[in-house]
Amino acid sequence: MSNNSKQTSKAVGSLASQTLRSSSSSSIQKELAASALSQTNSGKQTGSEMESKASRVLQSDKYNDTTKTLAASVLAQANKER
C-alpha cells in the first residue's frame, strides 16, 4: 500500500480545533475536523470511509467553506492508490 506523507497544516489544524470546540458545528464538520486533527504531526492517512464522506462534501453545494476546507484536507491525506 502506498503511503501518503501529507499532514494537516497549522491553519487547518487550528480550524479543526475551533470546529470541535464549537457547539454550532455540524456532525459532519466535527467528523472531518477530528480526522484532520488526528493527521497533524502523524503518519496517519485518511480511511476509506472518511475519504468517501469528504469526497461527497466537496461534490455537494449544500456545505459551507469551513466544511469544504476540512474535507479537502482530509481527502489530500488519503491513500493515493484508492
- Dist CA 15 CA 30 (whole Å): 11
> Where are the chain's structural domains?
10-76
For the chain, the farthest-separated pair of C-alpha atoms sits apart, in whole angstroms, at 38
C-alpha angle 45-50-51 in degrees, rounded to nearest 5? 70
Instruction: Look at residue 46 in the predicted model and tell me its pLDDT.
Output: 84
- Dist CA 36 CA 34 (whole Å): 5
Q: Name the DSSP class of 62.
A: S
Instruction: Look at residue 82 in the predicted model and tell me its pLDDT.
Output: 52
Cell triple for residue 76? 489530500
- The model carries a pTM of 0.85
| AA identity, residue 19 | T
pLDDT in tens, the chain (82 residues): 456 566 788 899 999 999 999 999 999 999 999 999 988 876 677 888 999 999 999 999 999 999 999 999 999 887 766 5
